[in-house]
Structure 1
């Protein structure tokens, strides 16, 4: 069995929730307990379901305002701050690893962290004292995202925590205020868990066809897509995967994973 390499940071995929996650009686504590078990990162590289931009873009490398990319919520959710330091050195490393002929990397220096990045970070690293860089997803193609993750993998040996932030199931029609879970959400979550345990990368890459009701669990695939960046970054350590958080939140699967 492949084991984690000493000194290498884990790679994470987490379900990030919406801004009301902060008010949940269970989930914030689960995220906080998770981060307390991790080595302290030198920096955090976030890939969020909420930033698609091609060619691949690097966000702010200094502290800029957050992106409140949601509508219709109570005012206090728009007053959350997370003034983490920028990560210019990490940005330069990402450029070197990803830039190649025909594969440009662009900079958007005023693009702050969106809620897919800062909502979990507020719970996991509330001190906002670790440099954070967010990069965009230039595509939703799982194989291309897997390759991006593989090219970013060396950062783990430099103490960088690579985090793919999405939602293990994401169909807003399945949202339930009373917590009722539809069969579609439950079946996809179970299938995904079993595929990960079996290290069945081929099935995961073809999840829209091979998972039960894959297109219903993810009518659009942007919330599952960050998983493939994480899988790429952890490609030598898939056997180390474990579900740190599972269960459901408002009817959606919040399964969150650690590799290494």
Structure 2
């Protein structure tokens, strides 16, 4: 899903950001340029990992060794082999990033974006609600799903769009090179639905267990808005309804 969203793809961006130029005289120069390229790629992977964890998505990434093995450097095809190894690492990093974003959607950390036409879309995002009593503290993660018409993309930094504190916080935590792949969608909301996706009950000192309840939710909505009554209550007034999007994933939304 990541590499088919738009041009440039995430892999294209990563290639641009972590270029390996195997030029120069001698294998010593080649080994040095490879080490520099892989060190740079590892730093970018570390930035992506920190960003995902900032979103509440746990990661377990393996970083590349920036030193080429002596067997590779001794080969007559050392240049081609290093180019292959570098590209393979970027492809693996792209796949890992895609997997973790998908995991974030499955665990209610990020929402999803669907486009049905050039200016018609549906997106979902999550907001936590907390209530307290003498015996327990309940955190409900609510899934908000909105339908937009006359939707348009505003690329970051999107200075024309008023952003709440949560949106600004996420953008600040986002690696700069990801800004090319992110945008704010805004348009006219015509329908919305809210449902509890997850509930966590944290006991006070009087109790010792934690219960997690995940709702089953409703069936997936169809690709059109013809069955609007089945989807949720129609909004009578048309309002502006932005969301911060990264590829096919919604990081936050607001009204």
Q: TM-score, normalised by structure 2?
A: 0.23
Q: Which has the higher contact order (CA 8 A, sep 6+)?
A: 1
Q: Work out which of the two has the higher radius of gyration on C-alpha atoms and give 1 or 2.
A: 2
TM-score normalised by length of structure 1: 0.22
